[in-house]
Structure 1
Amino acid sequence: MKTIELKKELIERISMIEDVPFLNAIKTILDYKKKEYFLELTIEQEKEILLASEEGKKGLNSSESQMDEMVGEWLKEK
């Protein structure tokens, strides 16, 4: 079914619903879909992300296994 056909069918079916709680449930689903989520960062967090990005571009990053090993060594020192 093409998008336009699906939209028409949904509009038609929704227009026949009289159950207010059910309509509110549909509205909740639609409201959730339209939300734009973003993460607010502190200036320090933004700087860290930019630094990490630059390091990654220069190849100055470690694999997950390398990081696990480094953390393991650090924990042994404690």
Structure 2
Amino acid sequence: MTEVLIDAITDYEHKHFWQELDEQIERTQREDPQSWAEYLAERELVLGPPPRSRHIAPEWEGLITFPEEKHETGPR
């Protein structure tokens, strides 16, 4: 029983963390677009430009939603 509770709490904390992070990112994009643009520019300097195409392994097809696709299809 204790393991079930620990697993449930861990799962809840994990989901809550990512939900809160998503909300903070969306708030920054909405309320401070200049800072968001600066973040994206700095990120590109560090990581390089995004790839020209999104070729992924066939077994992952349909399982991955890229960030730009989330906004095209509406809410998550």
Length-normalised TM-score, structure 1? 0.28
Larger Rg: 1
TM-score for the superposition, normalised by structure 2: 0.28
